[in-house]
Every structure is written in structure tokens, then in C-alpha cells.
Structure 1
Amino acid sequence: MSLVQSVDNVALLPAYLAAGTAVLVLLADLLVSRAAGTVAVAAAGSVATVAGAAVVGAGGERRTFCVGADCSWVFGGRAALVAAVFGLLTLGVLALSGPLLRAGRTPVGEYCFLLACAMTGGVVLGGAGDLITLIVALETLTLPLYVLVGLRRGSLASAEAAVTFFVVSVVATTLTLLGAALLYAVTGGLHLGRLGATFEERPELLDLPLTTVAVALVVLGLAFKVAAVPFHAWAPATYDGAPLPVAAYLSTASKLGGVVALLAVVQRALPPTVTGPVLALLAVLTMTVGNLVALRQRRTVRLLA
């Protein structure tokens, strides 16, 4: 296979803008005395990310970090939509965070910086072309949320929610990484398109028990991120203990990240004959058990979670 070193910086512009927002927020927190200035920088960076995603996405599909025909970053209309949604969600959470930040129990600079880092992970997630990029992007989206959940000073519930979220997410990431490693052992590839083509060209691989285990681990690991039953137990405690704007971000951006990752691997990489039954079972359990358990909740946030 011929190696083609291709880096399209225009395709990376939305990711640059999102990551640059995080850096500028840190500088603003150091140089600007007023907290409103830091929030304004984060909001402006979110708007710039949305605009950059729209401009690059309108120019057609762009590929970068390619090895032959396989690319680790593919930015087209779908990736632009995902990046724009994450930028708008971040902007919305910043707008909701005014009372929380004015209360003085949450450090403004750290809060805005972590939101910008999570936005960066979401932007990269939309254009991920291989399992490693996808998992790293998903963790970049999730890791700042552990801290955001527990960032409120003097709140025991917030600290407990952060620990619960952290432990469950570590288990989910471990399962996903193990599944990716097993997929590499079976197919010798990690690019989403290459995995799908390999399973089409060599259907005998689907008969291997190792393939079934690998696919199940990847799907179940990602199911943790969307709080699908039976991997939902962390959600009520985490949402209830988190500050309200962070809970809103968890219920939208974090869930969106899990859904985007699931759609990417199911549609492009994993065989539907294996993923279909697993996803059907998860969907039935989530719709049935999740709603029945919600009837027993007395707090609105837990009911929604």
C-alpha cells in the first residue's frame, strides 16, 4: 500500500477554531479581570466554530491524514452539521450558566475552558475516520465533563456525581478499546471504511466468535455513553448532582456524541448482521425499562435522566 501524507488544513479549520477557543479562554482568564470577558471569549469562539464548520462543509467533502484511500479525518456535510450542533450547544449552555457563575461557587475560567475542550472533542468526533480518532475524540468530549460535574465548590452531591460518572465512563472506554483491539486482530485495520469493506470481502470473518465478541464490546462500550439500559444507572445520580447547565450539556452534547459514534461504527464499519440484534435488544430495553424506572423518580432531573 502506498503511503500518501495528506494534511488539508482547511478541513481542520473547525477543529482549530474549537481548540483555539480553549486556549484563548485560558489567556482571557489570566489577562481579563472581569468574568464576563472570559465568557464572551468562549461565546465568540463557539460562534466562530459554527461559522467555520458551515464554510468548510459548504465546500464539499475534504480528507486529511490519509494512508492510501483510508483517511482518519473526513470533513463533509455530516461532520459540519455535527460540529455546528456542538458549537450551538456550547453557546446555549454558556447562556444558561449566568446564574451559576454569578453565584461565585464555580470558577469562571476553568468552567469556560472545560466547555471549550468538550466542544473540541465533539467537533473532531464528527469527522473521525478511524476507531482511534473516534475514541480519542469521544474521550476529549467526555473527560472535561467529569470535572464540570464536580466543579461546584462545597457540594458533596456534585463530587459524588463526578466520581460515579468517572468510574462508569472508564469502564465504558475500556470495553470500547478492547473491542477495537479485537477488531484489529481480526481484520488488520482500524479505518471505518476499511473495516466495512473487509467484512464485505471476507464474510467468513463473521463466523468467528472473536468477531462477535469484538463487535459486541464496541457497541456496548458506546451504549454506556448514551445511557442505554442496562448501562443507565449512572445517569440519574450524575444529572442530579451536576449543576443545572452541566446537566443540560450532559443530556444533549454528551448523548449526541455517543449517538454520533454509534452511527459511525454501525453504518460504516461493523457488520449489520451482528450489530442489528444487539442494537435492537438495547433499544427495547431502554424504551421499556427506562420509562418504567422513571415513573418511580420523585425529582424532575432524575426522571428526565
Structure 2
Amino acid sequence: MDTDALLSYNWAIMAPEFTILGVATLLSVLDLFMGKNTSRRPLLWMALAGVAVAMAFVFAELDTDVTSILHDTYRLDFFSKAFKILLLLGGFLVLLLAADYRKKELQEYRGEFYYLFLTALLGAMIMASSADMITLFVGLELLSLSSYILAGIRKKSGKSNESAFKYVVSGGIATAITLFGMSYIFGLTGQTNLFDVVETLQEPVLLEHSFLLVFAFFMTFIGLSFKIAAAPFHMWAPDVYEGAPIPVTAFLSVVSKTAGFIILLRFILLTFIAAAGIDRDPLLVQVQPYVIVLAAATMILGNLGALRQRNIKRLFAYSSVAQAGYILVPFVSNSTQVFELIWFYLLAYIVMNIGAFACLQTLTRDAGSNDVSIFRGLFSRSPWLASAMTIFLLSLAGIPATAGFAGKFGIFMGALGPEPGHYVLAGIMMLMTLVSYVYYFNIIGLMFFRSGGTGGRRISIAPSIGAVLVFCAIATIGLGIMPNIALDFFFGQFDVNEFFMNTGHNH
């Protein structure tokens, strides 16, 4: 590619990615030359500023038409803009959590944490804008490799080392399976660009190899199911969540999971949307039973697993597994509603889950324990912290007037909407939501109706944690009472048809 061709591209549409890349590079250089005992606090503010500027660029691009560069491997469309907003919002809130994380083991590596966090975020953003299997995989690996290091960043902690090892092993297996499935798609079509793949799959000769196409779907879907911690590929999550620092756990629970659903939507839906399965029936219709079983198993195992947990981080790991099951339900309907349902629920999940982790970080630091008993008598020691945690738990449980209820209600009605309605799956979703009340309301009961805790002493809340709690609590209640605010923004700015429109090749 010559210089004229490079200069002809509209590089401005990659401003958010360039911002994150530039800040991550700058932080790594500065950290290299800073003294060992020098405070890394300035690096935090630079990282926060970089994420904020990247978010500003995304909002500035909202009115930009669908644009693709680099032979349609990078796309700026409704999908990329909508999900980058979620990624950057989650990233900003997690960085505020990290500002107050004071474990001694992390102090020495705080500089590494910031730029590794930004490179992981960059990988997720690349996935949101990718329209090619190669760039999708590069983004996925950039996110994964950075996450592996973040999970084990407390090098002197045995649990942190264990979590990193298990994460690397399970992640490597998932990557291999995903790549194996992608290789079949490339072998069948001879293309890596997703739009070229879609067009090639319409050719009659490929109908003779429909079995291989179904096999490729299962391989890629199973590999990506590891990434979102869907059952039965979720067993790494409790150990990794327990061993990783809480800001990293929050990142894996929210930002990394959002990225997993991004690649599922971008790759699975776009690639197989018009593909024919065995006997020439639509492939996505034929594989519905598998997706239904996967979603149901994820909801059931996640919620039942959480019932037995005393370690609060492991409890939230299983809760995160169950939430992944809820988000998988819209994939069954194969309607255009899948985008708005998943986007809204991920938005709700970001604010309620990061808010909950902000409370956990404050409590675990104060008590020096991860046992669920740290919530005993919390209301008497810190009424504001107990009230905020109650809001987040009620939202995670799906109680009305919270963001979690609005998201679950939309998913539930979406499962019943298309003909034939998926009544069994909707019933399992409702039943498992009721089961989740047991462990969520147990924590609320400990906070308000049990005495004890850490000697009855008051709990101080750091300013950065306070900011996260206030924002997340207001957003959780606001999205629950007025979900139309977010949905009107979604429909006002984004056109779902853009997702399937190829500007680069004029298909």
C-alpha cells in the first residue's frame, strides 16, 4: 500500500482508538522512567482523561454516516458507536475504582495496571469496529492477553497467581476453539471479510457443505461462550474473580463480558444471518435449540452456584454467570430487537455491577475479609453505603423501578414476542430470577437486620468510590423509572439496518 492510499483513508473515524493507544503508550514510557518510589497517581488522571477524550470523540461521531477504511476491516457504524459508549463508560468507572485500591501488592505495579487496562480496553473497541475475522481476532487477543496479566498482577499473591494461570489455560483453549471454527469458515468461503463471507455463503455450491458450516458455527460459538462465562464453560470465572484485585474483577465482569457479547453479535449474527443449514433451512433457526439449552443452563448453574457461596467475590462471579444467561436469551429470537435488548441490559449491568463492586471494595478493605459476613450490621455503620448496595442488589435481582428490572422485562417480553414464543425459556428465566432473590436478599438482610460486623466502627468512603456510588445509584434508579431515556437515545442515534449495510464493497 503506497503513501497516497494511506493518506486517502478517513483516519479521523479512528480517533477514539488512537486516543487510547496514544495514552497507553505514553503511560508505559512515563512509568518506565519514573522512580520506584514515585507516586503513580498522575498516571491515573492521564488514563481517566484519555478515556474521557475517547468518549468525547465517540459522541462527536454520532452523526457520521457509515464509514469503512482499510478495505472494510474497520467500520464506523451504529453498532460500533453504541457499544463503544458502553465500553468507555465501564472503563472510566473501573479506573475510578482502581484509584482507591490500596492493597500493598499492587502499589509496585500500579503503573503497569493503567496501561495494561487501556490496551485491554483498546482491544474491545477494535472488536466493536471490526468487519474482518483477522481484526476481530487481533482485538480479541489484545483484550485477552492484557486481561491475563491484569488477573495476576499481584505477583506475590498465591490466589492471584492461581487465577491468572487458570485464566490463561481456559482462555487459550477458548481461543484455539474459536480460531478452529473461524478456519472452517475461511476454508469454505476463501474470505476473511465478514461481508464477503456473507455473500459467498449464498452460493449454491456451499449448500453441499452445510454440515461443515453448522460445525463451524458450533466451534466459534463454544469458543466465544468461554469468553462470556456461559455454562458449562464458566468454571474459570469463580477462581479468577476471587484471585484478581477487585478493579480487575469489575473489569472482567463488566467490560470484558460486554466485549464478549460484542464479538458474538458482530461475528455470529452478521456471518450466519443468511446462511443455510442442513436441509437448506436457515442455520440460525436450526441451532436455536442449542442456544436455548446454553442460555437455560447458564441461568440455572449461575444462580444455583451462587446460593452456596460464602466468599462474596465468588458469589458475584456466579451472579455474573447468571447475568450472561439472561443476555443470551435475546439471541434465540433472531429479531432486530436483539440489539436494543442486549445494549440496554449491558448498560444497566455496567452501572449496577460496578456500583456493587465499589461497595465490595470499600467493605473488603475495611474488614480485611471476603466473607459475606462483612455485610453484617452495615446500615448502622454506614447508612449511605448500605442504601447504595441495596439499590444495586435490588437491580441485579430485577425488582421494579430499577434498571435491572427494565432490562429483564424487555428480554422476557422479547422471548415471548416472536412466533412461536419461547415460553419454556421465559419460564426458566422467571424461575431463576426468583432463585436469585435468595442470595441477593440474604445480603440485604445482613446489612439491615443483623448486628456485628467489624466491631461496629464507622466506614469511610473515598471520594472516587463515592463518585462511582452516586453516579451508579442515580443511573440505576433513573434507567429503571425512565428506561425510555436510554432507548430514545439508542433509536434516535442508531439505525439497526446499518449493521448489515456494507459501504466498502457496495453489497
Structure-1-length-normalised TM-score: 0.91
Equivalent runs, 1:32-43 vs 2, <5 Å: 33-43=38-48
Partner SS for 1:208:
helix
Following TM superposition, by how much is the alpha carbon of 1:275 offset from its aligned partner in structure 2, in angstroms? Answer: 4.3
Distance 1:206 1:22, change over 3 A: farther
Amino acid at match of 1:250: L
Q: Of 99, 114, 124, which aligns to 2:126?
A: 124
Max Rg structure: 2
Following TM superposition, by how much is the alpha carbon of 1:51 offset from its aligned partner in structure 2, in angstroms? Answer: 1.1
Partner SS for 1:100:
coil
**Is the 1:192–1:268 contact (alpha carbons within 8 Å) kept by the matching residues of 2?**
yes
**In structure 2, what is the equivalent of residue 294 of structure 1?**
306
Equivalent runs, 1:147-186 vs 2, <5 Å: 147-186=149-188
Following TM superposition, by how much is the alpha carbon of 1:82 offset from its aligned partner in structure 2, in angstroms? Answer: 1.9
In 1: Cα distance, 2:232 partner to 2:81 partner: 32
Distance 1:31 1:154, change over 3 A: closer
Following TM superposition, by how much is the alpha carbon of 1:291 offset from its aligned partner in structure 2, in angstroms? Answer: 1.6
Distance 1:43 1:254, change over 3 A: same
**In structure 2, what is the equivalent of residue 48 of structure 1?**
53
Distance 1:292 1:49, change over 3 A: same
**Is the 1:219–1:275 contact (alpha carbons within 8 Å) kept by the matching residues of 2?**
no
Partner SS for 2:106:
coil
Following TM superposition, by how much is the alpha carbon of 1:278 offset from its aligned partner in structure 2, in angstroms? Answer: 3.0
In 2: Cα distance, 1:276 partner to 1:203 partner: 25
Q: Which 4+ stretches in 1 moved above 6 angstroms?
A: none
In 2: Cα distance, 1:237 partner to 1:170 partner: 16
**In structure 2, what is the equivalent of residue 198 of structure 1?**
200
**Is the 1:176–1:221 contact (alpha carbons within 8 Å) kept by the matching residues of 2?**
yes
Deviation larger for 17-26 or 160-169: 17-26
Q: What value does the CA root-mean-square deviation take over the aligned residues?
A: 2.0
Q: Of 60, 64, 68, which aligns to 2:65?
A: 60
In 1: Cα distance, 2:145 partner to 2:130 partner: 18
Partner SS for 1:231:
coil
Following TM superposition, by how much is the alpha carbon of 1:101 offset from its aligned partner in structure 2, in angstroms? Answer: 4.7
- Listed one character per residue, the Cα deviations across residues 139-178 of structure 1 (whole Å, up to 9, x for unaligned) are 1112111111111142100000000001000000001111
In 1: Cα distance, 2:100 partner to 2:208 partner: 54
Deviation larger for 27-36 or 115-124: 27-36
- Listed one character per residue, the Cα deviations across residues 99-155 of structure 1 (whole Å, up to 9, x for unaligned) are 325746341210101011011111111100011111111111121111111111421
How many residue pairs get aligned? The number is 298
- Listed one character per residue, the Cα deviations across residues 156-209 of structure 1 (whole Å, up to 9, x for unaligned) are 000000000010000000011111111111122122222223333438537532
Query: Gaps (5+ residues) in structure 2?
Result: 276-283, 318-507
1:236 and 2:248 matched: no
Distance 1:178 1:164, change over 3 A: same
1:111 and 2:113 matched: yes
**Is the 1:199–1:206 contact (alpha carbons within 8 Å) kept by the matching residues of 2?**
no
**In structure 2, what is the equivalent of residue 135 of structure 1?**
137
Query: Gaps (5+ residues) in structure 1?
Result: none
Structure-2-length-normalised TM-score: 0.56
Amino acid at match of 2:223: G
**In structure 1, what is the equivalent of residue 250 of structure 2?**
248
Equivalent runs, 1:215-294 vs 2, <5 Å: 215-270=217-272, 271=275, 272-294=284-306
In 1: Cα distance, 2:81 partner to 2:11 partner: 15
Following TM superposition, by how much is the alpha carbon of 1:23 offset from its aligned partner in structure 2, in angstroms? Answer: 0.7
Amino acid at match of 1:94: L
Deviation larger for 193-202 or 175-184: 193-202
In 2: Cα distance, 1:52 partner to 1:45 partner: 11
**In structure 2, what is the equivalent of residue 212 of structure 1?**
214
Distance 1:116 1:265, change over 3 A: same
1:81 and 2:65 matched: no
In 2: Cα distance, 1:203 partner to 1:50 partner: 45
In 2: Cα distance, 1:104 partner to 1:149 partner: 13
Following TM superposition, by how much is the alpha carbon of 1:226 offset from its aligned partner in structure 2, in angstroms? Answer: 0.3
**In structure 1, what is the equivalent of residue 19 of structure 2?**
17
Following TM superposition, by how much is the alpha carbon of 1:81 offset from its aligned partner in structure 2, in angstroms? Answer: 2.2
**Is the 1:57–1:75 contact (alpha carbons within 8 Å) kept by the matching residues of 2?**
no
Amino acid at match of 1:291: N
In 1: Cα distance, 2:81 partner to 2:215 partner: 33
* Percentage of pairs with the same residue: 31
Deviation larger for 47-56 or 178-187: 47-56
